[in-house]
A and B are shown apart, each in its own frame.
Chain A
Amino acid sequence: MTRKSTPMGSVRGLGSAQAGTEHFIHQRVTAIALAVLVPWFIFSIIHATKAGYASALTWTAKPWNAILLILLFSAALYHMRLGLQTVIEDYIGKSGTRQALLILNTFAVFALMAAAVLSVLKIWIGAGA
């Protein structure tokens, strides 16, 4: 395949839109992280919630679990923001609606991020270990 880009263009790795490759790459990098974190989460959460509130709290307060939970939420929320952005851009043609939904997507993800991470930190720090 012949490359029609200039050497500088190849270095930057951007197409004519000047953006987009990083969206593609970030989607896949977060996917790799989630392919590991999600199975861990499902397996762990089953055991953590088996014995109710106290055991769930103890599990979340353990440093490794708290760290992995924060990484899970970060990767998942970033991944789903990129994913829903693509869905909105593909199906919503009306400019105003599209912009509004894209902004709403960003706000929703940041709100979930703040709520989830601060909750995990509260439990972790609150345990005082």
Chain B
Amino acid sequence: MAGSGWTDPRPLSPHLQVWRFHMTMLASIIHRATGVAMYFGAFLITGWVVALASGPEAYAIADYIINHPLAQIVLFAWAVAVMFHLANGIRYLFWDGPKIGFNPNTASLISIANFGFSIVAAAAIYGYAVFAT
């Protein structure tokens, strides 16, 4: 086993500059980006559960942070990320399972629809959270 100076000579994934822009490509990039973003979001959600288990004082601090305007922006961005990753992930499941939606036009249209859906769904969730009794 070589040290940290050694670099694996095998090729890495193709990088952005070799691809012509298309919608499924953008959806794929955003799928990854939202996945990585939610990875860090998981630390926040776990923090919330730990605060809840720690007692009312810890929960009050978590609650105070969540209600800060900056945290609300993060929360809304999180909802957009979750909704996009969910919708686009279901598109991938249809590819991998029943092999539906491989036609380039269909795949591009669904990709565009997923972007629209993620914003609308996140707005609906946020609105529901604000106005639900």
Q: A residues bordering B, Cβ < 8 Å? A: 28, 31-32, 34-35, 38-39, 42, 46-47, 50, 52-53, 56-57, 60, 69, 73, 76-77, 80, 83-84, 87, 90-91, 93-98, 112, 115-116, 118-120, 122-123
Contacts and interface: CB of A to CB of B under 8 A. Distances in A.
A28 to B, nearest CB: 6
A57 B35 contact: no
B52 A123 contact: yes
Interface of B: 2-8, 12-13, 32, 35-36, 38-39, 42-43, 45-46, 49-50, 52-54, 56, 59-60, 63, 79, 82, 86, 89-90, 92-93, 96-97, 125, 128-129, 132-133
Nearest to A79: B35
Contacts of A28: 93, 96-97
Given A80-B35, A95-B2, A123 B53 contact: yes
A32 B59 CA distance: 32
Contact of B35 (A83, A93, A97): A83
A42 B4 contact: no
A76 B35 CA distance: 11
Contacts of B93: 28, 31-32, 35
Given A38-B82, A46-B125, A80 B52 contact: no
A93 B60 CA distance: 44
A80 B45 CA distance: 14
A90 B13 CA distance: 5
Contacts of A52: 63
A119 B58 CA distance: 13
A35 B6 CA distance: 40
B31 to A, nearest CB: 10
A42 B49 contact: no
A95 B7 CA distance: 5
Given A28-B96, A96-B5, A46 B36 contact: no
A53 B86 CA distance: 29
Contact of B42 (A112, A120, A123): A112
